[in-house]
Structure 1
Amino acid sequence: MPFDNNWSNLCLHVDSSITDAIKIIEESDSKVCLVVSESENSIELRGTITDGDIRRGILDGISMSSECPKIMNSSPFTVGDELSIADLENLLVKHQFRHLPIVSNRNQLSGLFYSEVATLNSGEDTLFVIMAGGFGTRLKPFTDKIPKPMVEVRGKPMIQHIIERAKASGFYHFALILHHLPESFTSYFGDGSDFGVSIEYIIEETPLGTVGGLSLLDLKNRDFSSVLVTNGDLVSHVDYRDMVQSHLKQNAFATMAIKQHRLTNEFGTVDTSGNLITGFTEKPTVVSNINAGIYVLSTPALGLLERGKKKNMPDLFLDAVSLGRRTTAYYLYEEWSDVGRESDLNQINGK
């Protein structure tokens, strides 16, 4: 639990946009933006913004081009600069805080103390499952000889980016669900030890859909409280640990990552009532929530699967809803790409 000696780099003027705050959060270890106003020789703390504030803003329909006060916590918990490190650590643990801004008289910001990891759950409690059994037909000819998750993005296989990002968040136990060209994965990753993780492989004899392969997992005598599932052909900056935290805090049965997709009509539209014209809308934008292909499931949710039977993830969620189970959405603001076509691959690789 260190001091952030570069806390001034986390500061953002109160008139700045939420998009600017997102950049600071994504690039910092402490995962917070300090919203301030400045006067001569002093910086006044006006509020804080965390990724949770951003996700709630998305849920409330707030534009990311809005100014920071729209979503910031204007009354964050702060401490004085007289407290010892032991006192600061105790406060973080006691209140389940991630950050403690340090202020002096009149709310003048003088530092930041933070926890490097969240305290509610450890990655050791979660099995990280990557669905990597698809044929990748949309990405031919790249997938003629290798499966899509093994196609290189920014110098390494897509799936390696997922594993390395998950490991950096504290996840060490992985299961890869395979079908098409499984030896491409097993020969590259082995048991995972060269990558600092453990990897087990589940090979489907026939394709079992986007979640059916999980029915082949043997979780007996294993103390996993949840299973994080991701498609193997995604490139993203998703905070996997935070997603698990959100799932647990909400006591969810199943959680789905949601990404907002904006589609702008290239034409102006005419509003009508019957054959009467009532108005005009210039190039309207339709906002939809799409399934981002990342999920957290409580281990009881796996009980909705029949061993070896094909099932897709949306059907599992619908089953859970029909049973009255708590299913929640986790809104993404981070970089996220579904690498489905060659144009997607070229865009990510900067071609």
Structure 2
Amino acid sequence: MSDVDAVVLVGGKGTRLRPLTLSAAKPMLPTAGVPFLAHLLSRIRAAGVRHVVLGTSYLAETFSSYFGDGSEFGLEIDYVVEAEPLGTGGGIRNVAPYLRAEHVLVFNGDVLAGTDLTSVVDTHRVGAADVTLHLVRVPDPRAFGCVPTDETGRVLAFLEKTNEPPTDQINAGCYVFRRSVIDTIPDGRPVSVERETFPGLLAADARVQAHVDAAYWRDMGTPLDLVQGSADLVRGLAPSAALPGPCGEALLCAEAKVAEDAVVTGGSTVGVGAVVGAGARLDGALLFDGATVGEGADVRHSVLGSGATVAAGASVHGAVIGDGAVVGERCELRDGVRVWPRVRLPAGGVRFSSDA
């Protein structure tokens, strides 16, 4: 697709993922062994797109430091930094000077999806659309804005969250823009595509088309979603050519050390140099590089930041352990507990059920 560029918007601060995002931008968080963004870029490359523009802001230098000019990933990457938040529409307009192609695939950088990008672009071409939206069907659309369409797939409206949604179709955070449409977005100020750009196009009778499917889709905005998305990548439920190993119940990264009698299942990832002690159990766990799980510890559906430690006999279920933090022996953490970086929780069977 030589006439298609890609734009990935990665400027958000990821506040819902703190404390993990205190030291890393959300798209750079380790997910199934590599930065989350690497999985999206692998799908973009597989679709035949070679030129990518990253719209950055928060910790912008971490993106260029890892991905460079893109050549190692089979891509050509440009970087554009937002001096202040511009919203989705403003972020798209901000990268316009770097675009070369007639059509532009645009992605929210915090969505894990499995849709066929080539098919989305084909829908855009066949419909001679000004903008095409990827819509995904979800079992419960009440938590999302809905996007109804007519029998030809043309978008009719953009509706706010409601307890009685008229459709199960929601905005999946992937679009195809005709290049000329991007130039009509106001420059130099915040713009929302959902509240301003798309409704304005409908009012002007522009062709706003939908590509609807039920492919894998997950917003990676919360720790639970990050852990589940990583596990789905490891188990092959979400597609990615960037996975640094075969799909299965566990992914062990380079120099990871797992005791022979430890049980590691549920799509767990054990990061570079991480250690899992004798008799420990991991189920759907995400261990960043250098993390340690002690003997007999039980870690389920949780994420351990870089260098974090869960000591022997501790039990961690549905929790977030920040970089370098220590969970003492026989501690119990449950249901959304977040331990801030370098905090040390004492040993002795203490149970925590709120932020530590």
TM range (shorter): 0.5 to 0.7
User: SS at the partner of 2:45?
Assistant: helix
Structure 2 residue 10 is matched with structure 1 residue 129: no
Match of 1:254 among 108, 121, 131: 131
Query: What's the CA shift for 1:264?
Result: 9.7
Mapped to 1, the partners of 2:21 and 2:224 lie a distance apart of 14
Q: Which structure 2 segments of 5+ residues have no match?
A: 143-163, 232-283, 285-356
Larger RCO (CA under 8 A, 6+ residues apart): 1
Q: Does 1:302 align with 2:182?
A: yes
Query: What residue identity is the alignment partner of 2:230?
Result: N
Instruction: Report matched runs for 1:280-295 at 5 Å.
Output: 288-295=168-175
**TM-score normalised per structure 1:** 0.57
- Residue number in structure 1 paired with 2:43: 165
Mapped contact 1:263–1:287 kept (Cα < 8 A): no
Alignment of 1:236-251 (within 5 A): 236-251=113-128
Matching residue of 1:263: 140
2:68 counterpart letter in structure 1: G
2:192 corresponds to which residue?
312
Matches within 5 A, 1:51-66: none
Q: How many angstroms apart in 2 are the aligned matches of 1:331 and 1:348?
A: 21
Mapped pair 1:192 → 2:73: no
Q: Which AA in structure 1 matches 2:192?
A: N
Unmatched runs of 5 consecutive residues or more in structure 1? 1-122, 266-283
Who is 2:209 aligned against? 328
- Which secondary structure does the structure 2 equivalent of 1:127 belong to? strand
CA distance in 1, matches of 2:230, 2:219: 13
Q: Residue 201 of structure 1 is aligned with which of 79, 104, 128?
A: 79
Give identity over the alignment, percent.
33
- Counterpart CA distance in 2 for 1:175 and 1:264 is 31
Alignment-derived partner of residue 88 in structure 2: 210
Q: Is the 2:5–2:100 contact (alpha carbons within 8 Å) kept by the matching residues of 1?
A: no
8 Å CA contact retained: 2:60, 2:81: yes
Aligned residue for 1:90?
Answer: none
CA distance in 2, matches of 1:219, 1:324: 26
Q: How has the CA–CA distance of structure 1 residues 257 and 285 changed in structure 2, closer, same or farther, with 3 Å as cutoff? A: closer
Match of 1:50 in 2: none
Amino acid at match of 1:242: S
Structure 1 residues 264 and 336: alpha-carbon distance in aligned structure 2, compared to 1, 3 A threshold: closer
What is the TM-score with the length of structure 2 in the denominator? 0.56
**Cα separation, 1, equivalents of 2:5 and 2:27:** 19
Of residues 229, 235, 240, the one that matches 2:106 is: 229
Equivalent residue number for residue 148 of structure 2: none
Paired amino acid for 2:37? I
**Can you list the C-alpha shifts for 1:290-349, whole angstroms capped at 9, x where unaligned?**
110000000121122122121112121111111110101111221111111111112123
Deviation of 1:125 after TM superposition, in Å, equals 0.6
| Contact 1:304–1:316 (8 Å) recurs in 2 | no
Question: How far, CA to CA, are the matches of 2:221 and 2:31 in structure 1?
Answer: 13
Tell me the CA shift for residue 124 of structure 1.
Answer: 1.4
Q: Do 1:263 and 1:286's aligned partners in 2 also have CA atoms closer than 8 Å?
A: no
Moved over 4 A (4+): 284-287
> How has the CA–CA distance of structure 1 residues 218 and 293 changed in structure 2, closer, same or farther, with 3 Å as cutoff?
closer
Q: Rate the CA distance shift 1:286–1:254 in 2: closer, same or farther, 3 A.
A: closer
Alpha-carbon distance between aligned partners in 2 of 1:212 and 1:233, rounded to the nearest angstrom: 17
Amino acid at match of 2:226: L
Question: What's the counterpart of residue 343 of structure 1?
Answer: 224
Residue 302 of structure 1 aligns to which amino acid in structure 2?
I
Distance 1:286 1:155, change over 3 A: farther
Structure 2 letter corresponding to 1:338: D
Matched, 1:177 2:55: yes
Q: 1:204 to 1:322 in 2, by over 3 A?
A: same
Shift of 1:218: 4.4
CA distance in 2, matches of 1:264, 1:160: 28
Question: The residue matched to 2:171 in structure 1 has which SS?
Answer: strand
Deviation at 1:285, TM superposition (A): 10
- Classify 1:168/1:287 alpha carbon distance in 2 versus 1 (closer, same or farther; 3 Å): same
Q: SS at 1:329's partner residue?
A: strand
Question: 2:55, 2:95 within 8 Å by CA — same for their partners in 1?
Answer: no
Computed over aligned residues only, the root mean square deviation of the Cα atoms, in angstroms, reads: 2.1
Tell me if structure 1 keeps the 8 A contact 2:6–2:51: yes
Distance 1:313 1:143 in 2: 25
1:188-207 Cα deviation digits (max 9, x unpaired): 01111111110001100000
Indicate the residue corresponding to 1:4 in structure 2.
Answer: none
